[in-house]
């Protein structure tokens, strides 16, 4: 398989870790709002998957939004089925750390979710976020419908225009549709709520992680 650096990614399933056929077993109840993190979700709900660096602090940003039914952290964008955290951190799964956001579009506009996403991290950093270096920290939007894809692309263009006007860099955010989401281990779910003195914490509008 060769030697990998933190920012390397496999280019095919054959070059990635094999993973496993069965999903990781998790506690299905959201530790903050008591909703189910597992499908089926109530009728009318939509889902979008977002990667914006370390998923511990990122998840909290979205479960606090009015109109969000549930959130969960996991892995997406790569090749390895049902990966573990340790496997994802090697860079050999191709996945990035992500947050699943299930929301009621009648109560919360996707535009507002995307605005929170853009403003909560630096989407120009490529295979890193702040001091966290590696392909598992790359910025990503994984949509679940054609209308979501259109909104995501529009919001990226609008945010890029603002960055360019300010003399800042090019957005590296990966935008794709129909990407499988794999749940992370239970001890990662709603991490900041259950472990306020844990490895990651909110500081201003960002997340500070001690690895």
Q: Specify the pLDDT at position 6.
A: 76
In a domain, residue 5? The reply is: no
In a domain, residue 21? The reply is: no
Q: Specify the pLDDT at position 180.
A: 98
> Structural domain tally of the chain?
1
In a domain, residue 72? The reply is: yes
The C-alpha atoms of residue 81 and residue 43 are separated, in whole angstroms, by 27
In a domain, residue 66? The reply is: yes
In a domain, residue 46? The reply is: yes
Backbone dihedral angles phi then psi of residue 36, each to the nearest 5 degrees: -80, 135
Q: Specify the pLDDT at position 196.
A: 54
The better pLDDT of the pair 198, 155 is held by: 155
CATH number of 129's domain: 3.30.1060.10
The domain containing residue 118 runs over which residues? 26-209
Q: Specify the pLDDT at position 210.
A: 40
Percent of the chain with pLDDT over 70: 88
Q: Specify the pLDDT at position 4.
A: 52
In a domain, residue 141? The reply is: yes
On the question of pLDDT at 2 being above 60, the answer is: no
Q: Give all strands (DSSP E) within the chain, no chain letters.
A: 46-52, 68-76, 96-103, 128-129, 132-133, 139-143, 174-177, 181-183, 200-203, 206-209
Q: Specify the pLDDT at position 7.
A: 87
In a domain, residue 125? The reply is: yes
Q: What is the mean pLDDT of residues 14-18?
A: 97
Q: Specify the pLDDT at position 174.
A: 98
In a domain, residue 126? The reply is: yes
Q: What is the mean pLDDT of residues 108-137?
A: 97
Q: Specify the pLDDT at position 195.
A: 60
The C-alpha atoms of residue 95 and residue 87 are separated, in whole angstroms, by 9
Round the average pLDDT of the chain to a whole number and report it: 91
151-195 tens-digit pLDDT: 999 999 999 999 999 999 999 999 999 899 999 999 999 987 666
Total residues found in the chain within this entry? 211
pTM equals 0.90
**Which residues belong to the active site?**
54
On the question of pLDDT at 201 being above 60, the answer is: no
pLDDT-derived band of residue 208, with 50, 70 and 90 as boundaries? Answer: very low
């Amino acid at each position: 398989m060769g030697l990998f650096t933190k920012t390397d990614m496999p280019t095919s399933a054959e070059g990635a870790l094999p993973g496993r056929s069965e999903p990781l077993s998790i506690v299905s109840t959201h530790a903050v709002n008591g909703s189910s993190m597992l499908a089926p979700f109530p009728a009318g709900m939509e889902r979008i998957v977002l990667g914006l660096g370390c998923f511990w602090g990122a998840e909290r940003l979205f479960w606090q939004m009015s109109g969000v039914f549930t959130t969960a952290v996991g892995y997406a964008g790569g090749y390895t089925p049902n990966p573990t955290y340790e496997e994802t951190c090697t860079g050999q799964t191709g996945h990035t750390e992500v947050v699943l956001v299930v929301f009621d579009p009648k109560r919360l506009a996707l535009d507002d979710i995307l605005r929170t996403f853009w403003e909560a991290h630096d989407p120009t950093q490529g295979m890193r976020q702040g001091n966290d270096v590696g392909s598992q920290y790359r910025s990503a939007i994984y949509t679940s419908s054609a209308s979501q894809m259109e909104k995501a692309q529009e919001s990226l263009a609008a945010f890029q225009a603002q960055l360019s006007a300010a003399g800042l860099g090019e957005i590296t955010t990966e935008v794709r549709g129909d990407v499988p989401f794999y749940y992370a281990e239970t001890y990662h779910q709603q991490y900041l709520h259950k472990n306020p003195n844990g490895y990651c914490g909110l500081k201003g509008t960002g997340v500070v992680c001690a690895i």
